[in-house]
Amino acid sequence: MYTLNAKITIRIYCDLMEKMSLLNDAFGQVLRAHREKAGLTQKELAAKMGASLSAVKKLEHGDRIPSLRTVLILCQGLDMEPRDFVADITHRLAFLEDRKEG
């Protein structure tokens, strides 16, 4: 039997994992939208980043958590400011959270 503290810890962990999943989804959706807006294929963006096609696909599908360095390289490849990219992710995450709750 779990103690109350263990149940609370498990709940917090589950909430965190759920939030991370939504964040990965938001990141991937925003990345794809900006890539398409820039008129780039996944392969072209990968080449501009010096990354593999597989890496770009994983980022767009939310299967990979990007490092800060990766985000900065992505923004260079998309010719956009990192703050704008992060702002778009924040807005998309809020939308996904609202949709989930509603």
Q: Determine the 3-state secondary structure of 58 from DSSP.
A: helix
CATH class, domain 4-101, is mainly alpha
Single-letter residue type at 31: L
Domain edges within the chain: 4-101
pLDDT band at 13 (very low <50, low <70, confident <90, very high): confident
pLDDT tens, 48-67? 999 999 999 999 999 988 99
pTM of the model: 0.85
Single-letter residue type at 80: M
Confidence check: pLDDT of 1 > 60 = no
